[in-house]
Amino acid sequence: MRTKIIAGNWKMYKTPAESLAFLDAYLPAVAGHTADELLLFPSDTSLSAVLKKIEGTNVHAGAQTMHWAKEGAYTGQTSATMLKAIGATHVLLGHSEQRAYQNETYESVHLKIKAAFEVGLKPMVCVGELLDERQAGVTKDTLLSQLGAAFTGLSAENLGDLSIAYEPVWAIGTGLTASPEQANEAHGIIRNELRVMFGDAVADSMRILYGGSVKPNNSATLLALPEVDGLLIGGASLDPKSLATIVASRL
């Protein structure tokens, strides 16, 4: 049995004060929920405050991206070492908005995974096809090429700390959700490719989350799918009640 992960991606929302107000409502609402791993990805300016506030609770937090270098002349960037130093445990990599607007590629994601492992940060790597790719019938090819670029050459040893979020780009922030069949099929493709690349132990233990317009009214159905090991939630994670309802929908 793989422990599921329920993660909120706050994108470019919430000041530190707003983040703390969220936690004032969210932490008591999910206290005692140990069946799943609970995770938040706040913006960099809120991350320190969030990490302090969640100390000793069942909620963990990480950054929405990072640079692969340890340090250097990279204006505007944050390194894995810096994230680790403030107590972050996780980092989201390869989100489609980073790919679309910040020129993130799976070659850079590959370097970032290695940098995260070096300091003991747990990467969550996003993959997923565009609407055009789904309509052209190349969803599988797209996923395989993303996984190949991100993971080829990684050692199977560290991979227990890595999770994958399958996020069909056409479902992000659009109100469209992959059907249970579409999600199960894509997750199956990903898990099968992990089996080919790294063997049964990695493929059977790695958590593959679904993301894309997850809401309190569809979370239970998605979480019940055998191939879905958790959820990465954007819009619906901004409201503590709605995220806590999603967490509770799993019980």
Q: The dihedral of CA 202, 117, 157, 2: what is its sign?
A: negative
| Closer CB to ligand PGA, 202 or 223, in the complex | 223
Q: Count interface residues toward ligand PGA (CB under 6 A).
A: 13
Q: Residue 26 contacts by C-beta under 8 Å, 6 or more apart in sequence?
A: 59, 240, 243, 244
For position 229 contacting ligand PGA by CB under 6 A, the verdict is no
123 lines the binding site for ligand PGA (CB under 6 A): no
How far, CA to CA in Å, does 219 sit from each of 65, 124, 137, 233?
25, 19, 27, 10
d(CA 99, CA 115): 19
Looking at 67, 167, 187, 193, which residue is catalytic?
167
Assess 128 for contact with ligand PGA (CB under 6 A): no
CB of 85 to ligand PGA, least distance (A): 26
Question: Is 100 a binder of ligand PGA (CB under 6 A)?
Answer: no
6 touching ligand PGA, by CB under 6 A: no
The stretch among 22-30, 189-197, 220-228, 232-240 that binds ligand PGA (CB under 6 A) is: 232-240
**In the complex, which residue's CB is closest to ligand PGA?**
234
Active site (annotated) includes residue 167: yes
User: How far is the first Cα of the chain from the last one, in angstroms, to the nearest whole number?
Assistant: 15
Q: Considering the complex, what minimum distance in angstroms separates the CB of residue 235 from ligand PGA? A: 3
Binding window for ligand PGA (CB under 6 A); candidates: 26-34, 103-111, 217-225, 229-237: 229-237
Least separation in angstroms between residue 127's CB and ligand PGA is 12
Contact 227, 184 (CB under 8 A): yes
Q: How far is CA 4 from CA 64, 215, 224, in A?
A: 20, 17, 11
Minimum distance of ligand PGA from residue 69's CB (angstroms):
25
Candidates 60, 67, 95, 187; catalytic one = 95
- Give the span between the Cα atoms of 196 and 164, in whole angstroms: 16
> Is there binding between residue 235 and ligand PGA (CB under 6 A)?
yes
- The reply on whether position 209 binds ligand PGA by CB under 6 A is no
Q: Mark residues 151-180: x for contact with ligand PGA by CB under 6 A, - for none.
A: ----------------x----xx-------
Binding site for ligand PGA (CB under 6 A): 9, 167, 172-173, 211-214, 232-236
Positions marked active-site: 95, 167
